[in-house]
Each structure stands twice: as C-alpha cells, then as structure tokens.
Amino acid sequence: MDGLTRVLRNRQHAIVERWCQDALAVYSSRAALVFAREQDQFANPIGHSLRTGTRAVFEALLDGADDERIRRALDDILRTRAIQQLAPSAAVEFLFHLKDVIRQELGSASNEAVCSHDLTEFMRRIDHAVLMAFDVYVAYRERLCELRINEVKRTIPWSVGRRKTG
Amino acid sequence: MATFDEPGYYDPDELVQIQRHPPVTPWMETPVDFRPGTFIYPGKPKNLHVLGLPHPHEWAVTDADWKLPQGWQQIILDGMAERLSRYRSFQLFMDICVRCGACADKCHFFIGSGDPKNMPVLRAELLRSIYRKDFTALGKVFGKLAGGRPLTEDVIKEWFYYFYQCTECRRCSVFCPYGIDTAEITMMGRELLGLLGLYVNWVIEPVANCYRFGNHLGIQPHGMVDTLEFMAGDIEEATGITVDLPINKKGAEILFFTPSGDFVADPGIYTCMAYMLLFHELGIDYTWSTYASDGGNFGLFTSHETMKRLNAKIYAEAKRLGVKWILGGECGHMWRVVHQYMNTMNGPADFLEVPTSPVTGTVFEHARSAKTVHIMEFLADVIKHGKLPLDPARNDHIRVTFHDSCNPARGMGILEEPRYVLRNVCNHFYEMPENTIREQTFCCGGGAGLGTDENMEMRLRGGLPRGNAVRYVQERYGVNQLAAMCAIDRATLVTVCDYWAPGVNVTGISELVANATVFRGEKRRTHNLRLEPIPGMADELADADAVLETRGEVGAHA
Ligand code: SF4
Ligand code: SF4
C-alpha cells in the first residue's frame, strides 16, 4: 500500500476537493452552489460538515484507521443526511463515489499494474466505510424515532403523574 | 475482458462523465414530495366548527384529493384581492422583490434541507406566481413568461407544504435590502389556505381550546388551580418556602399571564415555579387568572381575526379584576402579539395605568400604550436595583448559553435584558457565534405552529443551524445548558439539542434566577427546582448563610 498511499497523499487536496463537490451533488444544483460557496461554518453547516467530513474520512482511510475513527469521521455528514429528504441509499452513496474520484485523479496511473492491487485493497476499505456509514445512518434514524417518542411522553401533563402518585 | 481488479477494467474517461446531480426541473414543475416526518396533520373538522371557520372537512395530506370546496379557485383569488387591498405590506411585498437573492441562504429550513423552495425568495414566489398571473396586466397576457402560473390543486398542496415549513421567524427580512418579510407572506398564504378549510391540527386544536377555555391545552379552572398547587408543593420541597397562590384576585395590582405550555411540561414547569417564588420573595401584589390562562396565541399562526379573538381575554380580564397593569411571562410569540398588536387589536387599555414596578418604583415608559411589561424587563430592573439577594455560585455547575427567541429578539428587540439577568445569576455564560444570535438568531425550527412530533424530521432540518451553534459552544466552552425565554423553545429545543448537541439541557431564565436567589426563610438549599441535588452545595452552605445575614442591606425592599 505504501506506494499508492504516497500517491494518494500527494493528491489528497485535489481528491477531497473533487469528492466533496461530488457529495454535494445529492442536493439540487441551486443548493449545491450555495453550500459550496459559503465558507462560514455557522451560515453553512452542511457545506462545512461535508468539507471537514470528507477530509477526515479520506485521511482515516489512508491511515487504515479502525472502525471507531471512521464512524467518527462520518458522523456529522450522516447525522445531517438522516433527517433530510434522501433515500438511505442516496445518503451513503457518496462514499462509493470516492472510488471514481480516485480513478479520475490517478488517471492512467490507476490502470498501471503496480497500483492496481493496492488500489483494490483501498477500494475494499471504502466498501467497509460504506458499511460503517450505514450503521451511523441507521443509528441516527433510530435516534429520531426515540426523540419523537420522548417528545410525546413529555406532552403528558406533569400533574397527571402527580395525581397518580400523590 | 479484464476483471475488476485488473488494469483496464475501468475506463477513467467514461467514469468522469457520470452526471450525478438530480435532474433539474423548473421549480414550478417540481411537485411536492410528502414524506412522513415532514408535514403536519390536517386540522380536524370539529375544531373548525368550534371556531366557525369555513369548509370544515376530513382530508389527509397524502390523499390525492383534498376535497376542496366548490369554486375554490375563486375563493382564493377573492381572498387574495381582499388582502392585497387591506394590507399594504402584502401588496408591496408582492411587487418589489428584485430577486437579488440576498435572502436565499438565510432561512434555517433552507440551510438545513437544501430544498430551494425553502429559500425565502422562492417561498414568496409560490404566492407571487399566482399574484402575477391573476393580478398583474403582464401576467394576465404573458402568463408563465411573466413569471405567472395557473392556480391548480398542486399549487395549493405546495402552499400547504411550504407555508407550514416557515416558522415566521423573519430572519430573511434582516438581510433583504427592501425589508421584505417573508413571514408576512407566509401568514397570508396560511390565511388563504384557511379559506378552503385547510389548517394543521397542531395549530387549530389549540386555537379551538383557547377559544373555549382560555388556554391552548384546554385546562379548566380547577385544573389550573390544581397544577399551581402541585407546583407550590414542589417549591416547598426544594426551598422550604410556602408561596401564596393568588388566583383571580380582584383588586390585585398586577395581572400575570404566561404561556400554558409552562403549566404542563418539563422544563417549562420549573420556570413557572420560579415566577411564583420570585413574586413571593419580592412581595408583589399580583394574581393569576384562570380565564386569561394563556399568553400564547396560536391565532397569530392562523389569521389576524383569530389572533384578535383569542387575545381579547387579556384586557377583558385585566378590567374584570381591576388590576393596574399586566406582566407577561417568558414567551416568544406571545410577546409579539402583546407588544406589537394588542393595543391596536383589543385596546385602548385606558382603564389601566402606566406600569410601575412596586419593587423599584421604575416607570416602564415603553409600555405606556400596551400597559404590559415582559418579565425579563421586570427582573432586570429588580436586579439592577439590588432587590434580589443573589448567589450566582449556586449555578456554578451550569455553563449556560443563550438562545435569542425570534419574536422577542428579532421581532421586538429584547436583547440586553435577558443577558443582563443571566450574567447576574450565572458565573459561566457563553455566547454562541455572532451570526447566530441577536437579530441574526437562528430559529428553533418549531415555532409558528410547527412544533409537533409528526413533523420532527422537518423540525430537525430547521433546527440544524441552531443546534450546530449550540454544539460549537458545547465543545468549546463545555456549555451544558441552553437558556431561552420562550415556551415553544423550551419544548422544541430540547429535541433539537438532544439530536444536534446531546448533553445540553434547556432551561428558562427565571428558573436560573430562582435557583440563584437566596430566599428569605429558605431551608438549606441542597436541591434545585428540578429537585436535583445541587453539586457542591453542602460546602457552600456557609457562604449562603453569610449572604442571608447581610440580606438586610441587600434586599431592603420589605
Ligand atoms: S432579499 Fe428581498 S429583494 Fe432580494 S430576493 Fe430576497 S425578498 Fe427579494
Ligand atoms: S420567516 Fe424565517 S422560516 Fe420563514 S422564510 Fe424567512 S427565514 Fe425562513
């Protein structure tokens, strides 16, 4: 992996930039433009979490990081996507696109035999990250349901409980 | 052919050409996708009957046929014409938008969803396109070319979806060079939908309750008395103090009213308890009312007429009880209704006096017309005059941030008072980033009648920018509480924080004041109003005793 890792690290900026643009494409083009342009993290939390999230995930993959770190890197992006108008598949699909982005960046180098085996290994890491993303996504969907239940519980007047117990 | 892990399997050039953006359809031709979790259930006919509203009928948001009344197009067009002539702001807002886009990325629903129709300019365009087609000469002739479109059932569905995805927070108006307030366009849109019998139950049921019982929850007088008595019991347990419970007391100096949400649910109930304790301590002559039993007014989210009908009870009750002036609790939209509209709608309140604090003698000149003062103005003044013996160290385990609620902050300019109070009762107060507070505050995502559980996915989209800023101060300063002076916030921000910044609790400001106050005759305070043990309180009892001893100087109001 060393050779490939070095190549990918050298091109990290370009890859992440391109990947982030690609991940934005899940939104309508009008929104994607805004999310790509505005740099303030409070005015544009989606753009910000995509920028920082894609970088963190890519670095974690390069480092061959453990599941925990990959999940953490994915957290913000999936937390947001779990409550948006997206099918689950569309929410995690952007990870697969990293494969294409890498191939685009490497160009003909990706077809060179020397890289190819390592590249296959790297692609497997991406596949694994997709599974992690799916876990994170589902955890947030479950959280959403749990919060809804909690809220319904809170609407039962506090004094009703009082009457029963006291 | 090469296998996938062999050179030549992928053609990089081919891959580059994949177009991933969703297909672009013009906005007018993109139909609404009613996904569960993103819309609110329809108003039940029984509630429309109570209020005498037109066309009560059973329908479901996901039905193809919304069973609109006969001649519905004409009803809408007539309704629009009427409102265009009645409200000059509406006519102006329809005409003057230059589509500069300054507002486009300022709405929390757009920021959290990426749905272009949540850009305020497009939200307004949903109505404006009908206006153009039917009310402008160009539109009548050129239709779509002039930005107009015919009024179809799909347009009505789109209105319903997007006008109940606007919390009427007015953030967009801050950035519009012309001051166009999309909140007012939403209000018009909702009024027009109402003409067809289309309401959301989360708004219209509270309105029907309020119309009959004086409060959104339909709490009857004896229920309210019970509730306040239960609270008095908890107050006694936490502080050892027995508070008075003046209810419907004729001749009291002050009528106090607050949103009914604070009677029923955690954490609002603690704010309500705090009022009782603080009034007791300050020794003011006030009364609760079982008739004016809600400061909240979901009429604001329904129509101007409904708002007026629901609010009439406030002055009527002030008159019946013979009070001198009115004090309002911590509420957001209530404050807008009361401070901005009440005098015009239900006044003049010439039977009341200009509010004067019985504790400090301060005359609240700004309330000369509405005769109503906000609890934060009242408390800030009391604290400024040193009339409350405070020991902010009692809140030392709390690292608090402050959420400016849209209506009191952006709408009515109460920006400094709550901060002044917080700084005096908490040693650890941290502001969220500048572009998320004060006039630029981000809405909780659940105001204007959106705060129901079936709409939770949408609320969390709208709550993203606020939650994101809360998480920032949580990570940076260890913030663990979010204070808000609005009952809707106290309900909806709990969920927003649980999702976006778990670990941050929500509180009212008065609750923090009461927890920091060294009350006359209090027992050793080991528990706060939530009956949670106060960390480190045992060690600090000696300090508290010292404050008690000096209270002759500190709280010389008795
Ligand atoms: S900022 Fe004002 S003028 Fe500009 S697009 Fe928005 S509403 Fe129209
Ligand atoms: S009033 Fe608030 S919710 Fe409505 S469009 Fe403007 S920013 Fe969005």
Q: What does DSSP say about strands B325-328 and B254-257: parallel, antiparallel, or unpaired?
A: parallel
* Average pLDDT, integer, range B390-397: 96
The arithmetic mean of pLDDT across residues B103-116, rounded, is 97
Q: Is residue A164 part of a domain?
A: no
**Angle value at C-alpha B503, between B499 and B506, nearest 5 degrees:** 85
* pLDDT over 60 (residue B550): no
Closest CA–CA distance from residue A157 to any residue of chain B (Å): 5
Whether residue A166 lies inside any domain: the answer is: no
A43/B460 CB distance under 8 A: no
| pLDDT surpassing 60 at residue B13 | no
Residue A92 has pLDDT above 80, yes or no: yes
Both tokens of B94, joined, read: 């329809």
The share of chain B scoring above pLDDT 70, in percent, equals 92
CA–CA distance, A166 with B355 (Å, rounded to integer): 40
Q: Nearest chain A Cα to B496, which residue? A: A147
Amino acid B137: pLDDT: 81
Q: Does A165 map to a domain?
A: no
Pairing assessment for the beta strands B400-403 and B372-374 based on DSSP bridges:
unpaired
Closest ligand to residue B92's CA: 1
Q: Is residue A45 part of a domain?
A: yes
Give buried/exposed letters for A116-141 (b at 16+ CB in 10 A, else e): bebbeebbebbeebbebbbbbbeebb
Inform me whether the C-beta atom of residue A109 falls under 8 Å from chain B C-beta atoms.
no
List CB contacts of A86: < 8 A, sequence separation 6 or more.
A26
Q: In this predicted structure, what is the pLDDT of residue B558?
A: 31
SS3 (DSSP) at A102: helix
Tens of pLDDT, residue by residue over A6-46, are: 999 999 999 999 999 999 999 999 999 999 999 999 999 99
For residue A119, pLDDT beyond 60: yes
Q: Contact A85/B35 with Cβ under 8 angstroms?
A: yes
pLDDT at B262 > cutoff 70: yes
**Higher pLDDT pick, B543 / B104:** B104
Note the ipTM here. Answer: 0.95
Q: How far apart are CA A67 and CA A128, in angstroms?
A: 9
CB B43 within 8 A of CB B196: no
CA angle B370-B375-B380, nearest 5°?
A: 115
Task: State phi, psi for A56 to the nearest 5 degrees.
Answer: -65, -40
The predicted pLDDT at position B138 comes to: 80
Q: Compute the CA torsion angle B325, B329, B333, B339 (nearest 10 deg).
A: 20
The answer to whether residue B315 scores a pLDDT higher than 70 is yes
Residue B383 three-state SS: helix
- For residues B427 and B416, give the distance between their C-alpha atoms in angstroms, rounded to a whole number: 17
| pLDDT per residue as tens digits for the range A38-90 | 999 999 999 999 999 999 999 999 999 999 999 999 999 999 999 999 999 99
Give the neighbor-by-neighbor strand order of the sheet with B400-403. Answer: B400-403, B481-484, B505-507
The atom of ligand 1 lying closest to the CA of B124 is 7
Which of B127, B192, B196 has its CA nearest to residue B155? B127
Q: Does residue A144 belong to any structural domain of this protein?
A: yes
Cβ pair B37, B19 in contact under 8 A: no
Average pLDDT over residues A87-110: 91
Angstrom distance (rounded) from CA B115 to CA B162: 10
Mutational test site, ligand 2, from B186, B301, B404, max ligand atoms within 8 Å of CB: B186
Q: Choose between B277 and A107: higher pLDDT.
A: B277
Cα distance between residue B481 and residue B396, in whole Å: 12
Distance B165 CA to ligand 2 centre (A): 8
Give the DSSP letter of residue B222: H
Both structure tokens of B444: 């909780």
Q: How far apart are CA B335 and CA B340, in angstroms?
A: 8
Please give the sequence-ordered ranges of beta strands (E in DSSP) within B393-551, or none if there are none. 400-403, 481-484, 505-507
Residue nearest to atom 2 of ligand 2 (CA): B169
Q: What is the pLDDT of residue B14?
A: 55
Query: How far lies B273's CA from each of A46, A99, B335, B374, B418, in Å?
Result: 39, 58, 20, 17, 18
pLDDT at A107 over 90: no
A to B CB pairs, distance under 8 Å: 143
> Between chains, do B21 and A148 touch, taking CB under 8 Å as contact?
no
* B130-154: average pLDDT: 85
* Section B411-419 average pLDDT: 95
Q: How many residues does chain A have?
A: 166
Chain B touched by A31 (CB under 8 Å): yes
Q: What's the pLDDT tens digit per position in A123-165?
A: 999 999 999 999 999 999 999 999 999 999 887 766 666 654 4
- Give the global pTM: 0.93
B356, β-bridge pairs: B363
From ligand 1's centre to the CA of B449, what distance in Å? 25
As a residue count, chain B comes to 558
Counting the structural domains of chain A, the total is 1
Confidence of residue B426 (pLDDT cuts 50, 70, 90): very high
How does DSSP assign B66-134, residue by residue?
--PPTTHHHHHHHHHHHHHHH-HHHHHHHHH-----TTTT--HHHHHH--GGGSHHHHHHHHHHHHHHH
**Confidence at residue B26, expressed as pLDDT on a 0 to 100 scale:** 81
Tell me if A63 is assigned to some domain.
yes
CA dihedral B451, B455, B460, B461 (to 10 degrees): -120
**Residue A160 domain flag:** no
C-alpha to C-alpha distances, B3 to A117, B9, B459, nearest whole angstrom: 12, 6, 47
Give the pLDDT band (50/70/90) at residue B557.
very low
CATH of the domain at A28: 1.10.490
Structural tokens at position A33: 């433009």
CA distances from A153 to A150, B265, B448, B453, B544 (A): 5, 10, 22, 11, 37
pLDDT at position B106: 97
Is B111 part of the contact surface with chain A (CB cutoff 8 Å)?
Answer: yes
**What's residue B92's pLDDT?**
95
Report residue B356's pLDDT band, with 50, 70 and 90 as the boundaries.
Answer: very high
CB-CB under 8 Å, B116 with A157? no
Is A126 an 8 Å CB contact of chain B? no
Question: Is the minimum CB–CB distance between A159 and chain B shorter than 8 Å?
Answer: yes
- Lateral strand order in the sheet of B372-374: B286-287, B254-257, B325-328, B372-374
In angstroms, the CA B45 to CA B52 distance is 10
Q: Which pLDDT score, from 0 to 100, does residue B55 have?
A: 97
Residue B17 pLDDT greater than 90, yes or no: no
Give me chain B's average pLDDT, please.
Answer: 92
Predicted confidence at residue B544, as pLDDT, reads 57
Question: Given ligand 1 and candidates B107, B178, B181, which is best to mutate, with the most ligand atoms within 8 Å of its CB?
Answer: B178
Residue A162 domain flag: no
Q: B5–A41: do the CB atoms touch at under 8 Å? A: no
A87–B contact, CB cutoff 8 A? no
Per-residue confidence band for B194, with pLDDT thresholds at 50, 70 and 90: very high
pLDDT in tens, B236-254: 999 999 999 999 999 999 9
User: Which range is least confidently modeled, A161-165, B74-78, B151-155?
Assistant: A161-165
Q: B363 has which bridge partners? A: B356
pLDDT of residue B21: 61
Domains assigned to chain B? 27-204 (no CATH), 215-384 (1.20.1050), 392-516 (3.40.50)
* Whether the predicted pLDDT of B149 surpasses 70: yes
A67: containing domain: 3-155
